[in-house]
Chain A
């Protein structure tokens, strides 16, 4: 404990030094930083409890898939989550150069102990069970699940959830898509589970399974860019307790309120809606499975 307190003190000292430096330097801070709401919350850059002082360390898995990232490179600011991350960083007062990315495999993101990132952005659904191990920000995207299938196979004929029951369905491990299969569809044969969506698509094209359940943006990406003859069969109704992606923090992280402020600002500015439209737009015209 004392060790941690000491390292906190070191971080704080660094912060003060940094503040002094920036005060002397050229004024180039972004105009729209998060205003401290109330007296208790100070979200100025120097006060943020960061992993590395003056740097926002963001984690995501590798490979980073479209449409959330582009070219497997989170630093380019392209792709939905990369864009959201940089917009958030800007609202918190960071420049683009002050953002550092680290690779965080999904399965290690919830390991106990100190984390090597300030937050992790990796299409992680904010399930209540998960909150016992980590903290989440408010949601930044309300996600819908969808089914894809190969054109001309029985899967594409489905119009309702009941039509999916007799099919062999697959999903990626660790995703809420798998939970949708077991809880909502309840198919007669047990689902197939894959390490990533690429393996699921391979099994789909081999005819091992009739359909793959993924989140809707991924469904569009897979059918448009990966598969030759893929089709989005339909989206599951949003329904009860709609699912949201949130940023993942170490349990008890003091950074969460400030990031939530920045996120709220992003929403009120209209930036979040604009980024969503830019990267995940064009989802209209998908039938909802009744």
Chain B
């Protein structure tokens, strides 16, 4: 198989890198500098955040802001309802995300087809991305959630949950298709030429040579879109269902206190951080592999 780092000449001893000689005096100096750097980093971090916290807490409006945004009693009172509503966000996300990944890949592949017969497919893919990326997602929500049931076509579901999720899938598949396309375009043409010269068909080249490299390269932007989608599941609230942000708004508008929004934000962050760290790990692994001369 032709791997991502094939163009880099492999290093002579992959995996068993020889330990270079280090002068013990120099090593000691390096260790000391390392310790000093660590202390400096800690000190500067503490000072910077302490100053920021002081500015925040000593500002004239802080007590009012704390009362309206960070109120413990309101936090406890609003959390159960918001947490329950948050399950709906997760559900929508889990259903929408796989559909988006598949649909977007199909659109990206359609867009990349060569040959005059495929022009209609290329046009369809281009129109899909242009239209669904251009329309504000909230309008798509209204169009699908209120517009389609209003047509009164028999046999079609009336559920705003279904149509709201479909709106999200349409919108995000347009974005993700472009991410895929960027990944596919980033694979060097020599890879395809090499694959074809080995006797692989066009489809096989795409499946076994281009896509594996393309997808690996676009994992970070893909995760970016996942995270964005997690938050945009809140848009389904315009159609009636109570999700986390709406539950927060209900609490806020009854009690004239914004703390409930902070509760919702923390839930979204709690969902986002593991994904972000996961991306970091993937990226680090990929870098390691490339530095190792394409042995991965």
B212 surroundings in chain A (CB, below 8 A)? none
Among listed B15-23, B59-67, B169-177, B275-283, interface-contacting one: B59-67
Closest-CB distance, A243 to chain B (whole angstroms)? 13
B249 at the interface (CB under 8 A from A): yes
Q: Mark A96-139, 1 if CB is under 8 A from B, else 0.
A: 00000000001100111100000000000001011011100000
Q: Mark B250-278, 1 if CB is under 8 A from A, else 0.
A: 10111111100000000000000000000
B150 at the interface (CB under 8 A from A): yes
Residue of B whose beta carbon sits closest to that of A251: B64
Q: Are B158 and A208 in contact (CB under 8 A)?
A: yes
Q: Are A129 and B68 in contact (CB under 8 A)?
A: no
B64 surroundings in chain A (CB, below 8 A)? 112-113
Q: Are B239 and A112 in contact (CB under 8 A)?
A: no
| A195-B68 CB under 8 A given contacts A173-B249, A202-B146 | no
Complex Cα spacing A106 to B249, Å? 12
A194 surroundings in chain B (CB, below 8 A)? 238, 240
Q: Are B257 and A193 in contact (CB under 8 A)?
A: no
Closest-CB distance, A175 to chain B (whole angstroms)? 8
A207 at the interface (CB under 8 A from B): yes
B246 at the interface (CB under 8 A from A): yes
Q: A interface, by DSSP: helix, strand, loop or mixed?
A: mixed
B149 surroundings in chain A (CB, below 8 A)? 206-208
Q: Are A203 and B240 in contact (CB under 8 A)?
A: yes
Q: Are A203 and B239 in contact (CB under 8 A)?
A: yes
Complex Cα spacing A192 to B239, Å? 8
Complex Cα spacing A175 to B168, Å? 28
B61 surroundings in chain A (CB, below 8 A)? 112-113
Most chain B CB within 10 A, of A111, A112, A178, A192, is at A112
Complex Cα spacing A208 to B67, Å? 38
Q: Are B68 and A133 in contact (CB under 8 A)?
A: yes
Complex Cα spacing A106 to B250, Å? 12
Residue among B65, B240, B254 making CB contact with A112, cutoff 8 Å: B65
| A106-B253 CB under 8 A given contacts A193-B246, A203-B146, A208-B160 | yes
Q: Are B254 and A179 in contact (CB under 8 A)?
A: yes
Q: Are A129 and B254 in contact (CB under 8 A)?
A: yes
Complex Cα spacing A199 to B238, Å? 8
A95 at the interface (CB under 8 A from B): no
Most chain A CB within 10 A, of B60, B158, B255, is at B255
Q: Are B68 and A111 in contact (CB under 8 A)?
A: yes
Residue of B whose beta carbon sits closest to that of A200: B240
Q: Mark A192-220, 1 if CB is under 8 A from B, else 0.
A: 11110001101101111100000000000
B242 at the interface (CB under 8 A from A): yes
Q: Are B253 and A129 in contact (CB under 8 A)?
A: no
Closest-CB distance, B273 to chain A (whole angstroms)? 28
Q: Are A178 and B256 in contact (CB under 8 A)?
A: no
Complex Cα spacing A208 to B160, Å? 8
Q: Mark B221-260, 1 if CB is under 8 A from A, else 0.
A: 0000000000000000111111000100110111111100
Complex Cα spacing A5 to B26, Å? 65
Most chain A CB within 10 A, of B160, B239, B242, B257, is at B239
A290 at the interface (CB under 8 A from B): no
Q: Are B253 and A173 in contact (CB under 8 A)?
A: yes
How many chain A residues touch B (CB < 8 A): the figure is 33
Residue of A whose beta carbon sits closest to that of B69: A112
Residue of B whose beta carbon sits closest to that of A107: B253
Closest-CB distance, A6 to chain B (whole angstroms)? 14
Q: Are B158 and A193 in contact (CB under 8 A)?
A: no
B240 surroundings in chain A (CB, below 8 A)? 170, 192-194, 199-200, 203, 208-209
A62 at the interface (CB under 8 A from B): no
A190 at the interface (CB under 8 A from B): yes
A26 at the interface (CB under 8 A from B): no
A174 at the interface (CB under 8 A from B): yes
Residue of B whose beta carbon sits closest to that of A130: B256
Complex Cα spacing A121 to B258, Å? 21
Closest-CB distance, A58 to chain B (whole angstroms)? 19
Complex Cα spacing A179 to B81, Å? 14
Q: Mark A126-170, 1 if CB is under 8 A from B, else 0.
A: 010110111000000000000000000000000000000000001
Q: Mark B59-89, 1 if CB is under 8 A from A, else 0.
A: 0110011011000000000000000000000
A179 surroundings in chain B (CB, below 8 A)? 254
Q: Are B146 and A206 in contact (CB under 8 A)?
A: yes
Residue of B whose beta carbon sits closest to that of A203: B240
Residue of B whose beta carbon sits closest to that of A174: B253
| A206-B158 CB under 8 A given contacts A112-B61, A112-B68, A133-B68 | yes
Complex Cα spacing A190 to B150, Å? 22
A193 surroundings in chain B (CB, below 8 A)? 237, 240, 242, 246, 250
Measured CB to CB, the residues of B under 8 A from A are: 60-61, 64-65, 67-68, 146, 149-150, 158, 160, 237-242, 246, 249-250, 252-258
**5 A-B pairs with the lowest CB-CB distances in the bound complex, closest first:** A174-B253, A192-B240, A133-B256, A110-B256, A112-B64
Listed A/B pairs (12) with beta-carbon separation below 8 Å:
A112-B65, A113-B61, A130-B256, A132-B67, A132-B255, A173-B253, A192-B240, A193-B237, A195-B238, A202-B146, A206-B146, A206-B149
- 11 further A-B contacts with Cβ under 8 Å, apart from A173-B250, A193-B246, are A173-B249, A174-B250, A174-B254, A190-B242, A193-B242, A194-B240, A203-B146, A205-B150, A207-B158, A208-B149, A208-B239
